[in-house]
Structure 1
Amino acid sequence: MEESISCQWSMFRALLSIVQWWGFNVTVIIMNKWIFQKLDFKFPLSVSCVHFICSALGACIVIKMLKLKPLIEVDPEDRWRRIFPMSFVFCVNIVLGNVSLRYIPVSFMQTIKSFTPATTVILQWLVWRKYFDWRIWASLVPIVGGILLTSVTELSFNIFGFCAALFGCLATSTKTILAESLLHGYKFDSINTVYYMAPFATMILAVPAILLEGTGIVNWFQTHESVFSSLIIIFSSGVLAFFLNFSIFYVIHSTTAVTFNVAGNLKVAVAILVSWMIFRNPISVLNAVGCGVTLIGCTFYGYVRHKLSQQAPGTPRTPQTPRSRMEMTPLVNDKLDDKV
């Protein structure tokens, strides 16, 4: 009886963690698109800066005041030598995501972001000379094919937004690879990651945001009709961006790797559907098919990666793939690209 209750509670907790993760993620994406499109606040650097400030303050409150998470101490020298480079890539990743949201629909941006597993594997193969099982490469075929089909048939295609989203995938992959080498020895969770990286990212972004967008923001304040309510929405998106990080930590610890991967891809589908219902951006049949193929490819990739990670260490290899040159899976979980 107790085992049955415990099992039901675990399932309920896993379901609750997934739902709240979906809720925060989709809400942040939709709010950012709303800010750029409906509020006419077309300043992605400043929006990203607001997110970093809110995330830094939120992490301080959770760790220092509420003490919900213990602080992971980092040597002052390592903060500049290890965390600062990570923060720079972290900053570029979020900014490119917001820039792409300004120019292309949420559905197209989310589909392109699903290209991240492919860029991670390719970068590790090219830069780190890591070798992967043929099934990993095979799982990338539907991802790449779906992205190509979606891009060719996208009715609201914008080359600048497309390039921003694509380079955002590269930034996410670079962050994934750097995390293993730069943060070696530190077991960061989501909150400690934000605690150390968000202040650096704010510092990196503040000057270019002021120089490139300062005049436009002043004009926006002078011409926009509902400044106060718009600012509430902008800062609310920053607060929700922090809670999104907390929700990622919760869902990772409440679900299995396979469930997390499937839920992540279903989350993309939910974001696409909700954004279409709100913004009504045109989507052709072939475009929808491309999105579907990409998501199926991402799910297959996650499944293959999980199966390979579960393979027993003593499993024999083929002569063409000796263990010394074989890398079964990417270095770290590349689904954690939702952090803002």
Structure 2
Amino acid sequence: MLSLNLLPPSKVTVSKSRGRCPINAPLLDPNLVNRTQKQRNASCSSFGFGYSSSSFSHPVCQISKSGLDFRRFLGHPFGVSSRFSSQTLGAAAGAPQESSPDGEIEVSKPNKNLKLAVVFGLWYFQNIVFNIYNKKVLNIFPYPWLLASFQLFCGSVWMFILWSLKLQPCPKIDKSFIVALLGPALFHTIGHISACVSFSKVAVSFTHVIKSAEPVFSVVFSSFLGDSYPLSVWLSILPIVFGCSLAAITEVSFNFEGLWGAMISNVGFVLRNIYSKKSLQSFKEVNGLNLYGWISIISLLYLFPVAVFVEGSQWVAGYHKAIATIGKPTTFYLWVMLSGIFYHLYNQSSYEALDDISPLSFSVGNTMKRVVVIIATVLVFRNPVRPLNALGSAIAIFGTFLYSQATAKKPKVEEKKN
């Protein structure tokens, strides 16, 4: 700005009301003008502003509809939006940003890594908190049907709050959308309640080891439906089967109900994924978070009536026994609330992560998440782990990692065939 004062008098007008700064361009050095334009563009874009210019002499900095919308924060876990944070964190840190051919500012690789680290950190942390307090509640209140219903209820209320306050755009739904969700929501209900039953019967670590066998069910069911897999995929599921079998045989807290609960949970979630691909193809405009929200609502309608029928008569006596065991009712209420809230939050974070990374990276991240959860729950609950049990768990999880690598190569194989 000091350099402008040294130039001959020229028409320099500033309109505060419209934010326009027309400058008599021929009087300025072209290099200085280009540099100034780039600085304006970068400063506007990095803070969520849109930059537009009808001509070179009329640069405009406008606030876009999506920029600086603080209402979006609550639509993401703990107020962190990966799409927003990647830009704002990069601008605040003064990190270099690259410009795409379309003129948009792209976040540099270090900032992308920071963003993914935050998202994955929240995902892992929320999952650990859920597993710990879910197990604490089930230890003194062994009624998984009610607890699973309450967790879906918390997710439903959370989404209604986001939609009513316009913190998250509410999708336009119709009869066809609800009908398309009935199947995925049913299988989601089966997967969720089966996992809760397993958690109530065996150690959390054992349930997660068995749930790491989900790729086996995915390959088998998909093959029955006509999908073909290369030999590397089939070979990758062998260590999963062997590792899970070794872990089950040597598990200290082994229980058949816990084993079958985890196995049925795998079947439920695999069928949910397969059914979703077929029934929800025409609703791609609905984002992952809204889709999961409606699945939670319909699953609650499925589960709660059955929960009342299965164990409703035992809830009152079980509640009084739990209060007598723990001593303080507020502690029991806190544990239940944390299990419900963090159940929804960790699923919300997983959808946020899936939006920003490839399916392969998500599979690897999900595998590592199980490792972190298993280690955390073993340390918290001090579950005895035999050497062979630890070895079987490690083999099963390593097989899951090999499966994610093998399936990542599957599209390339199909392309070569085509």
Q: Which TM-score band applies after superposition, normalised by the shorter structure?
A: 0.7 to 0.9
How big is each residue's C-alpha offset from its partner over 1:24-57, in whole Å with a ceiling of 9 and x where there is no partner? 11211111111111xx111101111111111011
Structure 1 unaligned runs (5+)? 318-322, 324-340
Which protein is bigger by CA-based radius of gyration?
A: 2
Shift of 1:211: 2.6
For residue 73 of structure 1, what is the aligned residue in structure 2?
Answer: 172
State the AA in 1 paired with 2:306: P
- The structural deviation recorded for 1:312 is 7.3
1:207-266 per-position Cα deviation (integer Å, ceiling 9, x unaligned): 222232223221133332323320221022111112112211222233344332222111
Greater CA drift, 208-217 or 289-298: 208-217
> In structure 2, what is the Cα distance between the partners aligned to 1:287 and 1:9?
39
Residue pair 1:116, 1:173 contacting (<8 A) in 2 also: yes
Q: What aligned pairs does 1:169-208 form with structure 2 within 5 A after superposition?
A: 169-187=266-284, 188-208=286-306
Give how far 1:194 is off: 2.7
Question: Any residues of structure 2 matched to 1:138-153 within 5 Å, and which?
Answer: 138-153=235-250
Please point out which of 133, 139, 146 is paired with 2:230: 133
Give, in angstroms, the shift of residue 142 of structure 1: 1.0
Tell me the SS of whatever aligns to 1:283: coil
**Cα pair 1:91 1:201 within 8 Å, conserved:** yes
TM-score normalised to structure 2 length? 0.71
Deviation, 1:3, is: 4.3
Residue 73 of structure 1 aligns with an amino acid whose one-letter code is: K
3-state SS of 1:66 partner: coil
Secondary structure of 2:219's aligned partner: helix
State TM-score, norm by structure 1.
0.86
Structure 1 residue 50 corresponds to structure 2 residue 147 = no
User: Which residue number corresponds to residue 42 of structure 2?
Assistant: none
Given that 2:183 and 2:272 are in contact with CA atoms closer than 8 Å, whether structure 1 keeps it comes out as no
Distance change (3 Å), C-alpha of 1:131 and 1:270: same
Matched, 1:306 2:408: yes
The change in CA–CA distance for 1:308 and 1:3 in structure 2 (over 3 A counts) is farther
Q: Does 1:2 align with 2:59?
A: no
Relative contact order, higher structure (CA 8 A, sep 6+):
1
User: Which residue identity is paired with 2:197?
Assistant: V
What code does the residue aligned with 1:305 have?
Answer: T
CA distance in 1, matches of 2:288, 2:359: 17
**Quick one: distance in 2 between partners of 1:232 and 1:155?**
30
User: Is the Cα–Cα contact under 8 Å of residues 190 and 264 in structure 2 kept in the other structure?
Assistant: no
| Equivalent residues of 1:221, 1:227 under 8 A apart | no
In the alignment, structure 1 residue 161 sits paired with structure 2 residue 258: yes
The 3 A distance-change label for structure 1 pair 177 and 160 is same
Amino acid aligned to 2:149: C
Question: Distance in 2 between the 1:312 and 1:100 partners?
Answer: 38
Q: Is the 8 Å Cα contact of residues 55 and 194 (structure 1) preserved in structure 2?
A: no
Distance 1:118 1:189 in 2: 28
2: CA distance between counterparts of 1:203 and 1:251? 28
- The whole-number CA distance in structure 1 between the counterparts of 2:158 and 2:371 is 29
Q: Distance in 2 between matches of 1:184 and 1:56?
A: 23
1:213-292 residue pairs with structure 2 within 5 A? 213-223=311-321, 224-225=323-324, 226-292=328-394
Q: Which runs of 5+ in 2 are unaligned?
A: 1-94, 99-106
Give 2:171's aligned amino acid. I
CA drift of 1:311 comes to 5.0
Task: Give the CA deviation at 1:203.
Answer: 1.5
CA distance in 2 between partners of 1:121 and 1:21 (Å): 26
| AA of the residue aligned to 2:204 | V
Task: Indicate the larger mover: 182-191 or 250-259.
Answer: 250-259
1:9-24 paired onto structure 2 within 5 Å: 9-24=111-126
| CA deviation after TM superposition for structure 1 residue 72, in Å | 2.9
Q: Percent of counterpart pairs with the same letter?
A: 21
